[in-house]
Amino acid sequence: MAVRGLELSGLRLTTSAAALLEKKPRLDIEHFVLRLSRAAVEALLPPGTPVKRVERLGGGAILLAVETRGLRATVEVRPGASREGRLRLEVVSVKAGIFPIPAMVWTAALRSAVPRRPGLLLTAENRIEVDLRVILRRKGVEIAPFRAVRVGEDVLELVIGDPPVRGAEGNR
């Protein structure tokens, strides 16, 4: 189903009143499904990033227009959820116009471009992994692991945690 902008559903979380009153909310996020359109993903790109546009979402991949040091390229990324519950971004190909850039060239560029920050990893297989649990814990937020990441036609879907077991809602 098409999505216009951002759609969040199934959000389940807990917080304590004491934390709210202290204005230091400690949240424990158990589950949500976030669906983003191409335009929404583009709008959420952090400022200063070499990614200038999101060209396309579809077929399990994200096509990004990247510009760095005067060089323009189109990067195909396949997102997914790692076994450890991290958001995994796998660079599949990089092209300058219609010409593919050899993997050994963009691999070196990727290694120097990914900043060293807690919660951000570059694996030996050149996959960027984002561990939201590590990033958000520093802000007082506990979050369940990524369960699934899907890319459909003009939609990116992120699933955090597990949905409630049917029939268990009334028992809480």
Residue numbers of the site for another protein (CB under 8 A)?
4-18, 20-21, 37, 39-40, 43-44, 169, 172
C-alpha span between 131 and 20 (Å, rounded)? 25
Q: How far is the CB of 38 from another protein (least distance, A)?
A: 9
C-alpha span between 38 and 53 (Å, rounded)? 9
For residues 43 and 108, which CB has a smaller minimum distance to another protein in the complex?
Answer: 43
For residues 17 and 104, which CB has a smaller minimum distance to another protein in the complex?
Answer: 17
C-alpha torsion angle, residues 124, 121, 72, 4 (rounded to 10): 120
C-alpha span between 115 and 24 (Å, rounded)? 28
For residues 44 and 71, which CB has a smaller minimum distance to another protein in the complex?
Answer: 44
Q: How far is the CB of 67 from another protein (least distance, A)?
A: 20
Q: How far is the CB of 10 from another protein (least distance, A)?
A: 6
Q: C-alpha distances in angstroms, 73 versus 107, 153, 170?
A: 14, 22, 52
Q: How far is the CB of 98 from another protein (least distance, A)?
A: 30
